[in-house]
Every structure is written in structure tokens, then in C-alpha cells.
């Protein structure tokens, strides 16, 4: 508490100093908080909640685009970079209206190259219509600043971060525009070490107490590139070719200890350590060809892409007794994974006197080939194939989709309705276990929405949509992925897709926003633990729950206190109740939590901007787990130089090292276990962004589709 008290004393001093330096205040005392009278930074546009970013002082100290997303109402950013909206939804990320779904790491890699000045706005679609792929339960659309000035432009963005290790991220972007052709190049290079720690404390069936500690530093030497050409061969018609590569080279050395005592915690039972050295590599390549044309009030867009992703990984795992130094187990593994994704999509829209009609279709064929081989050191000191852990798994999926939608503006009303149909055929083949699982199903996805403009400053909207979530390939893959010799995660090829029906209500009055989401998800997917009381092995499996009820209320309140002090607070409350059959009992525990996220931005003398961001989430969880409260405080300092060409930022994240996701199992008579994940959030980051050239044309980002996201690419 002393650190917290000192920190808030520091905030008070900053306030007093900035106030004393503001010549426009003089001796006048602050009488009241004034709502910002400028054009609103947050506003409702049809089915979108739009936040203005460029020129908004609330975002000046954001080190990159990823920091900007942290201030989106209702959005949580996990320590591993995963995005979670309203406590339960992983949103899709769009750039300029097109999907760029990617893994959390790839998303961070891209957003690290964006400064807040490059982003015009962020739109949140919390209940997507039938026009969008069924996977999209929510969408965050990042609109980049566009300037069609002829010539060339460049941007260099580099960041250096330090915690227990050093990590650097460097991005170079170049573009050259002529009247008909635009060429773009984007190069990225990351080098350094990241850290992850896993801890668990488990009371075993024999009353012993086992403490698990897993420390995983991972060195990175990654390179990415993007090359593009956009040709406007006729008025309002252009064709675009893009190539992308993401080359990942890592070297990890995981250290694991299992320290076990008797029930009194006084006498040692066993103490083992495991060292796992592995060197994963991944090669991702994409070719994307797009066509866009407009004839009067008719628009047509054709998209085609091909993705190839190859992953290779070898492991060397040795487990020994800490005291005697005796070798207990020795494994060697070899993993090979190849993924191919082929996508074709067409979208047609037509404006008429009675509204806008849209229709489109999409076909996706995805194939994955996975092979993991284990060799175990025998008592004869030779490595022999381990058939119990080795596995060969293939998965093929065919998705055909079509939609039809209608939109109309009638007076103060904006109305929209649509229907989407998706047919899925999949074949999951566990070759080693000689098990084939086939799926063949058709899903109908209706949507309807209405927005009423009360006056210039107020809008209210209501929408309903049905969405589907297919299991990711890692959830289906029956391979074992070990956290420790006695703890592993395994996929389930029998998982069914889940379906959710969501009703959403929004209300905005200038920059104040209110959102309510409620609904039910059937066949919701869940990771659950199974504990073997004889071997003490704890495995995490996947299954479908009967249903899950959910509701969320989010309020966003931005204020301008003075011209040197601005603030924004996002307050939300989540409710969830899952029906989870487990060990002969159906657990249905209603859980309600609340989250407060805030940011206060101070404009200091000599053009410096100081930002304090903070968040608190109350005790949470699901029917099987209790999640402990979580809080953190970040600060940042920003300044521009050289007439705005050079932008410098320094950020101190998680000042009190308080961000560790910790959960406790509710039913202690089944599993008495608590665990936590920590991703090295506490760190200092220095960011430099320099723009040069004669043009401010902004390159488009290569699209990614939902299948790439499910594959973890």
C-alpha cells in the first residue's frame, strides 16, 4: 500500500504542477468538470461505435496501435496479447473494413508498426450482421489515415523494451504512388527474449502438497515482409496483388520444478526438475489478389487468397531428481505441421430508391497435416519410439457461405436485416488411433437491427444476431502439449461448433456511451481438468457444454476537466452462467464481476504529454473456477520533435508487477488446485517513430481470413 500511496501523491503533484504552468488558468479556481464541447471523440454510426484516434490527446502517449486498443470500451487485453470483449468474446480485427485476423503475436507484430497518429478512428461492431462471416461475434475496425498525395513516403518505427530481458521490434514502411499505380513495402524484424511463468499449488489425493513452477524464456529472431501493388486501370476500378511472409525462429529453454512435501508441508517427498530445450520455426506465406469496382450505385469486390504455413519443432526433455541428480525420464520429440488455406469471396451491393441490397458468397478449403513423434530413453539407454504419445492427425474442412441483406434509412431510423447460410463439411482423421470424425451441417444465421437518431447528439440502437463458433484446429488436435511431466493439454476431435443468439442495445449522448449485450450460447466449448488420483497426472481436455447464459453492461465516460487535463473511464459488469456436467453433477454457478478501466492525460509544458492508465477487475470465474481480482497501472510520456516528424514515447507498464492471472478450482473435493500465468507485463518501453518523404499515402494491410485465425497463424 505504501507504493500505491506514493504513486497517487505523485499524481497530485503532477496535477498541481501542470495547473500552475497553465497561463490560461491564472488564479481562477476550478469550479466544475466540463463535458468536452468539441466534436465527440466517441459517436454512434448505424451499427458501429466509432472512436476518433488521430489528434485525440487521450491517445498521444500510446506507444503503438496495440496500446490504442486498450482504451476501447469493454475490451480487455490479456498478458499474452489476446483480446477479449465483454469478458467472453474474442473480436475480429479489421483494417479499413477488411479482416486481418491473426494470432495475438502476429497482431502485436503488425500493431507495433502503427503509431496512434496513423490511425484515424476505431469502430466497434458489437453484434455483426449476416453480411459478416459467422465466426465474427464482434469486430474492431481500425481505419487508417488516408492521403492520396503523389510521391513516396516512409516511416520507421522502433521500440526497445526491458524487463528481465531485452526485446526490440523494428518496422520499416515505404510507399510510392503514381496516378495509376501504388507500390508498398513493409519490413519487420524482432530480436530479443520474452518470458512466461506458470505456477500451481495442488493438494494431491494422498494428501501430499505439490508446487509446480515453470519458467520459459524464449529468444526471438523473427522477420516479416509485405509487398503490394495496387493498379487503378479504370475509374473506380482497381486490382491489388499482395505477398506476405512471416518467418519465425525461436529458441526456448523451459525450466520446470515439482516440489512435493507431505500434508504438513514440513517433510520433503520428492523434488524433481525438468529441462525442455526446443527450437520452433514457422514459415508463413500468403498470396492475395483482390478486385474492386464501382459503376454508379453498384459495387463489386472479388477476393482470392492462398496461404501456406509450415511449422517444425524438436524438443529435448530431461527430468531428474534434484537431490540425487539421477535421471528419471528422457524424451525427444519431433513435430511437423503443414496448413494450407484457399479462399474465394465475392460481394455485390446496389443502392436503390428503397434502400441498399447486398449479397455475396464465400468458399474456403482448409487442410492441415500434423505429425508428432516421441522417442523415450529406455532402461537399456537407447531411444525407442513411444507409441503412447506419438500421433498423426489430419484435418480437412470445406465451408460454403452465402448471404443477402437489406438496409434502409427512413427518416430518423436506420434499419437493416439479413440472412446468412453456411454449410460446413469436415473430416478429422486421427491416423494413429484409426479414428475418423466427419461433420456435415448447415447453419442459418439471421440478423436485424434498428438505430433511431433522437437528435444531433443522441442515438439509440437495438440489434439481434445469431453467430457460430467453430473449434480451432488446436482444440481439435488430439496431441499432448506438456506444461510439466504431470500436466498436459490435449485436443478433442469430437468438438461441435457453438451457436450464440445475442441481443444488443446501445445508447449514446455525445461522447457518453452505454451498451447492453445479453444472450445464450449453446454447445459452448470448455477446457476442463481431469485428475488421476493414482498417477497424479492432471490433464486438460475439451468438451461442449449444454449452454451458457451471458449479459454485459458497459459505460464509457470521457471528460475534459481543463485544456491540460483529460480523462476517460470505461466501466463494465459481466454476468455468466454455464451448465457444466462434471463428474456426475451439473454445475451452474452464476458469476457477476465488474471492471473499471481509466486513463488520465496531462498536457505538460514544452509540449510533453503524460498519461496514467489503470484497470481493476473484481473476482470473477466460471462454474468450475474462481478467478482472483486483477489490477495494473501503466504510465507514459510523449513528445514530438522536428515539426512532428519524430515522435518519442517512453512507457512503464504494470508498475507494481500486479498482473498475474490466477484461478482456483471451486470443487476442492475433486481437485484442490490453484494456478497462475504471468507473461512479463512489467517492463519499460522506449519507442521512436520517424516519418519522411513527400507523400502521406498509407499502405493497406494484407487481409487474413477467419481460417488463418483458427489455425493460429
Report d(CA 370, CA 712) in Å as an integer.
14
Could you give the domains of the chain?
35-710 (2.40.170.20)
Q: Which of 43-47, 51-55, 95-99, 214-218 shows the lowest mean pLDDT across its residues?
A: 43-47
Q: Provide DSSP, 19-38.
A: HHH-TTTTTPPP-S-B---S
Helix (H) or strand (E) holding 2: helix 2-21
> Which tens digits make up the pLDDT trace of 598-639?
989 899 998 899 999 999 999 999 999 999 999 999 999 998
Per-residue pLDDT at 11: 41
Residue 105: pLDDT band (50, 70, 90) is low
Report d(CA 693, CA 117) in Å as an integer.
16
- Number of residues assigned to the chain: 713
Per-residue pLDDT at 144: 81
Per-residue pLDDT at 13: 39
Three-class DSSP category at 198: strand
Q: Flag whether pLDDT at 653 surpasses 70.
A: yes
Per-residue pLDDT at 80: 60
Report d(CA 570, CA 552) in Å as an integer.
13
> Which tens digits make up the pLDDT trace of 211-254?
999 999 999 999 999 899 999 988 889 999 999 888 999 999 99
Q: Flag whether pLDDT at 30 surpasses 50.
A: no
Per-residue pLDDT at 664: 95
> Where are the strands (E) in 386-497, listed by range?
391-410, 413-430, 435-455, 458-469, 480-484, 487-490
Largest CA distance in the chain: 87
DSSP for residue 116: G
Report d(CA 615, CA 77) in Å as an integer.
11
Residue 701: pLDDT band (50, 70, 90) is very low
Q: Flag whether pLDDT at 305 surpasses 50.
A: yes
Q: Mean pLDDT of all residues in the chain?
A: 84
Per-residue pLDDT at 69: 78
Are the CB atoms for 516 and 504 separated by under 8 Å?
A: yes
- DSSP-derived pairing of the beta strands 538-544 and 487-490: parallel
Q: Flag whether pLDDT at 595 surpasses 80.
A: yes
- DSSP-derived pairing of the beta strands 166-177 and 119-125: unpaired
Q: Which of 92-106, 498-512, 614-628 shows the lowest mean pLDDT across its residues?
A: 92-106
Task: Quote the cell numbers at residue 607.
Answer: 509540449
Q: The pTM is what?
A: 0.83
Per-residue pLDDT at 543: 93
> Which tens digits make up the pLDDT trace of 533-592?
888 888 999 999 999 999 999 998 888 888 889 888 889 999 999 999 999 899 999 999
Q: Which of 10-14, 87-91, 362-366 shows the lowest mean pLDDT across its residues?
A: 10-14
Per-residue pLDDT at 125: 83
Helices (H) and strands (E) in the chain, counts: 5, 42
Report d(CA 614, CA 539) in Å as an integer.
35
Per-residue pLDDT at 710: 52
Give CA angle at 701 (698, 704), nearest 5°: 170
Distance of CA 225 to the CA centre of its chain: 21
Q: Flag whether pLDDT at 148 surpasses 60.
A: no
Q: Provide DSSP, 697-713.
A: --PPPPPB-HHHHHTT-
> Which tens digits make up the pLDDT trace of 427-479?
999 888 888 999 999 999 999 999 999 988 888 999 999 999 888 888 888 88
Q: Flag whether pLDDT at 698 surpasses 50.
A: no
Q: How many CA atoms lie within 13 A of 156 on its CB side?
A: 8
Residue 258's nearest CA partner among 183, 208, 305, 188 is 208
Amino acid at each position: 500500500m505504501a507504493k500505491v500511496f506514493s504513486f497517487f501523491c505523485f499524481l497530485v503533484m503532477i496535477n498541481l504542477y501542470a495547473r500552475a504552468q497553465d497561463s490560461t488558468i491564472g488564479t481562477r479556481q476550478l469550479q466544475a468538470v466540463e463535458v468536452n464541447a468539441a466534436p465527440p471523440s466517441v459517436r454512434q454510426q448505424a451499427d458501429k461505435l466509432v472512436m476518433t484516434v488521430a489528434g485525440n490527446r487521450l491517445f498521444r502517449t500510446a506507444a503503438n496501435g496495440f496500446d490504442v486498443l486498450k482504451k476501447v470500451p469493454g475490451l480487455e487485453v490479456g498478458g499474452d496479447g489476446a483480446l477479449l470483449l465483454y469478458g467472453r468474446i474474442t473480436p475480429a480485427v479489421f483494417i479499413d473494413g477488411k479482416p486481418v485476423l491473426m494470432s495475438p503475436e502476429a497482431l502485436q507484430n503488425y500493431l507495433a508498426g502503427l503509431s496512434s497518429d496513423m490511425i484515424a478512428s476505431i469502430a466497434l461492431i458489437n453484434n455483426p450482421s449476416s453480411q459478416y462471416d459467422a465466426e465474427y461475434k464482434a469486430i474492431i475496425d481500425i481505419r487508417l489515415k488516408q492521403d492520396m498525395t503523389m510521391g513516396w513516403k516512409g516511416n520507421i518505427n522502433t521500440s526497445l523494451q526491458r524487463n528481465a530481458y531485452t526485446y526490440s521490434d523494428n518496422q520499416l514502411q515505404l510507399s510510392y504512388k503514381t496516378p495509376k499505380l501504388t507500390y508498398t513495402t513493409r519490413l519487420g524484424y524482432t530480436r530479443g527474449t520474452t518470458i512466461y511463468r506458470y505456477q500451481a499449488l495442488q493438494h494431491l489425493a494422498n494428501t501430499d502438497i505439490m508446487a509446480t513452477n515453470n519458467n520459459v524464456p524464449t529468444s526471438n529472431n523473427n522477420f516479416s515482409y509485405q509487398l503490394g501493388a495496387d493498379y487503378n486501370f479504370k475509374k473506380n476500378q482497381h486490382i491489388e496483388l499482395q505477398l506476405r511472409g512471416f518467418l519465425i525462429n525461436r529458441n526456448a529453454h523451459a525450466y520446470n520444478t515439482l516440489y512435493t512435501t507431505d500434508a504438513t508441508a514440513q517433510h520433503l517427498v520428492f523434488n524433481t526438475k525438468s529441462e525442455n530445450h526446443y527450437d520452433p520455426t514457422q514459415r508463413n506465406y500468403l498470396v492475395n489478389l483482390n478486385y474492386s469496382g464501382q459503376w454508379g450505385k453498384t459495387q463489386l469486390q472479388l477476393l482470392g487468397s492462398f496461404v501456406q504455413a509450415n511449422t517444425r519443432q524438436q524438443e529435448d526433455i530431461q527430468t531428474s531428481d534434484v537431490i540425487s541428480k539421477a535421471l528419471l525420464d528422457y524424451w525427444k520429440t519431433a513435430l511437423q505441421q503443414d496448413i494450407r488455406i484457399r479462399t474465394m469471396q465475392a460481394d455485390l451491393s446496389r443502392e436503390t430508391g428503397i434502400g441498399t441490397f447486398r449479397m455475396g458468397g464465400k468458399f474456403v478449403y482448409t487442410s492441415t497435416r500434423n505429425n508428432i513423434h516421441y522417442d523415450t530413453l529406455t532402461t537399456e539407454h537407447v531411444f525407442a519410439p513411444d507409441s503412447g504419445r506419438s500421433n498423426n492427425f489430419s484435418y480437412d474442412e470445406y465451408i460454403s457461405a452465402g448471404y443477402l441483406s437489406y438496409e434502409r434509412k427512413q427518416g430518423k431510423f436506420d434499419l437493416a436485416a439479413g440472412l446468412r447460410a453456411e454449410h460446413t463439411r469436415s473430416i478429422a482423421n486421427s491416423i494413429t488411433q484409426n479414428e475418423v470424425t466427419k461433420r456435415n451441417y448447415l447453419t442459418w444465421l439471421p440478423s436485424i437491427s434498428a438505430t433511431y437518431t433522437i437528435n444531433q447528439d443522441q442515438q439509440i440502437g437495438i440489434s439481434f444476431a445469431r453467430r457460430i463458433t467453430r473449434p480451432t484446429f488446436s482444440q481439435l488436435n488430439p496431441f499432448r502439449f506438456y506444461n510439466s511431466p504431470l500436466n498436459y493439454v490435449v485436443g478433442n476431435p469430437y468438438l461441435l461448433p457453438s451457436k450464440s443468439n445475442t441481443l444488443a442495445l446501445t445508447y449514446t449522448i455525445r461522447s457518453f456511451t452505454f451498451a447492453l449485450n445479453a444472450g445464450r450460447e449453446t454447445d459452448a466449448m470448455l477446457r476442463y481438468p481431469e485428475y488421476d488420483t493414482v498417477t497424479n497426472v492432471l490433464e486438460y481436455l475439451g468438451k461442449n457444454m449444454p449452454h451458457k447464459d451471458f449479459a454485459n453492461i458497459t459505460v464509457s465516460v470521457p471528460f475534459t476537466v481543463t485544456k491540460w487535463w483529460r480523462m476517460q473511464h470505461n466501466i463494465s459488469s459481466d454476468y455468466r452462467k454455464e451448465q457444466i456436467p462434471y463428474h456426475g453433477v451439473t454445475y451452474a454457478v452464476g458469476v457477476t464481476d465488474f471492471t473499471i478501466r481509466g486513463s488520465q492525460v496531462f498536457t505538460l509544458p514544452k509540449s510533453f504529454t503524460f498519461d496514467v492508465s489503470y484497470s481493476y477487475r473484481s473476482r470473477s470465474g466460471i462454474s468450475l473456477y474462481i478467478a482472483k481480482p486483477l489490477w495494473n497501472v501503466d504510465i507514459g510520456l510523449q513528445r514530438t520533435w522536428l515539426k512532428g516528424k519524430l515522435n518519442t514515447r517512453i512507457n512503464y507498464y504494470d508498475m507494481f508487477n500486479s498482473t498475474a492471472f490466477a484461478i482456483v478450482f471451486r470443487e476442492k473435493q475433486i481437485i484442490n488446485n490453484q494456478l497462475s500465468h504471468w507473461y512479463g507485463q512489467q517492463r519499460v518501453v522506449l519507442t521512436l517513430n520517424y516519418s519522411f518523404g513527400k507523400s502521406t499515402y498509407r499502405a493497406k494491410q494484407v487481409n487474413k481470413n477467419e481460417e488463418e485465425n483458427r489455425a493460429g497463424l
